[in-house]
Amino acid sequence: MNAVEQRSVAGAAGELAVFVQGDPTGPAVVMAHSVLSSSMMWEVQAALLAVRGFHVVRADTRGHGASAAPVGPCTLDDLAADTVAVLDALRIDKAHCIGLSLGGMSGFGLGIHHADRLLSLVLCDCRADAPAAFAAPWDERVTTALQHTSCAPLAQSTIERWFGVPFLDRHPAVADRFRATAAATSVEGFVGCARAIQQLDYLGSVPRIAAPTTLIVGANDGPLPGALRDIQTLLPGAVLEVIADAGHLPNIDRPELFNAALLRHFERLGN
């Protein structure tokens, strides 16, 4: 039941790699990852849900992991549409959506524009707008990737922002895997998604989201706990879970606390 099957799905901008496991007759869960990462970051949580009877689908974002790298810009609406294309290809009518960072941002797009495809949302370590202080650093990162024709120069600084040096020193295998994944990301995929992040503008539409929603954030993830507290006020009934002593990827650095919060989401829904 926990065997993982890799499939290829036609997206609007190229083939998308998806990884499917669990009970195909169970409630569907689709998982979206951060920029400069891949669906591998959800392996532990996918296995956790699969053994509980869910039909779990992890998709590599365009230009990341094993998915094709389209040339040219994209928007967060495009990334949300990619998720819908995955659901369509797998003949999944409705799914729970779990997204972190970039995956959470596109999750807002799903909640706003594709409500009919959602059972619920779990949005992690993300925001719904791009104020100047948030958008500006992406220009330098894009320039670096373009100048070097590689994302390798971004890898170490990225994982240090996500986890902090002390965590990486204590967990060298995690550091090596995430560093390698970031370095292997296509320049086209990174640049397209970085520009999409800079155009993030869902905040005014957040109150339109009707799906049951849980917001999860690492307590040490800069301004994002505050941003998600503000978003919680726009979503009556939304639950906010703050993961103590966690950074940008709390599912990795505090998996026991993150997993408990994730399971509470499904318990509230009766799953």
pLDDT in tens, 70-115: 888 899 999 999 999 999 999 999 999 999 999 999 999 999 999 9
| pTM score, whole prediction | 0.97
CA distance 92 to 216: 25
Give the residue among 55, 62, 134 at the shortest CA–CA distance from 87: 55
Q: Note the pLDDT tens digit of each residue in 195-233.
A: 999 999 999 999 999 999 999 999 999 999 999 999 999
Residue 264, amino acid: R
Q: Quick one: three-class SS letters along the chain?
A: CCCCEEEEEEECCEEEEEEEEECCCCCEEEEECCCCCCHHHHHHHHHHHHCCCCEEEEECCCCCCCCCCCCCCCCHHHHHHHHHHHHHHCCCCCEEEEEECHHHHHHHHHHHHCHHHEEEEEEECCCCECCHHHHCHHHHHHHHHHHHCCCHHHHHHHHHHHHCHHHHHHCHHHHHHHHHHHHHCCHHHHHHHHHHHHCCECHHHHHHCCCCEEEEEECCCCCHHHHHHHHHHHCCCCEEEEECCCCCCHHHHCHHHHHHHHHHHHHHHCC
Domain locations in the chain as residue ranges: 5-128+202-269
Per-residue pLDDT tens for 9-45? 999 889 999 999 999 999 999 999 999 999 999 999 9
CATH architecture of the domain with range 5-128+202-269: 3-Layer(aba) Sandwich (3.40)
| Count of residues in the chain | 271
Over range 263-267, report the average pLDDT: 98
Close Cβ partners of 127 (under 8 Å, ≥ 6 residues apart):
105, 134, 200, 203, 223, 224, 227, 228, 231
**pLDDT given for residue 103 in this prediction:** 98
Beta bridge partners of 96: 29, 120
Question: Nearest Cα to 108, choosing from 225, 216, 208, 223?
Answer: 208
Give residue 72's pLDDT.
Answer: 81
Angle at 32 between CA 136 and CA 128, to 5 degrees: 40
Q: How confident is the model at residue 1 (pLDDT cuts 50, 70, 90)?
A: low
pLDDT digits (tens, 9 = 90+) for 44-65: 999 999 999 999 999 999 999 9
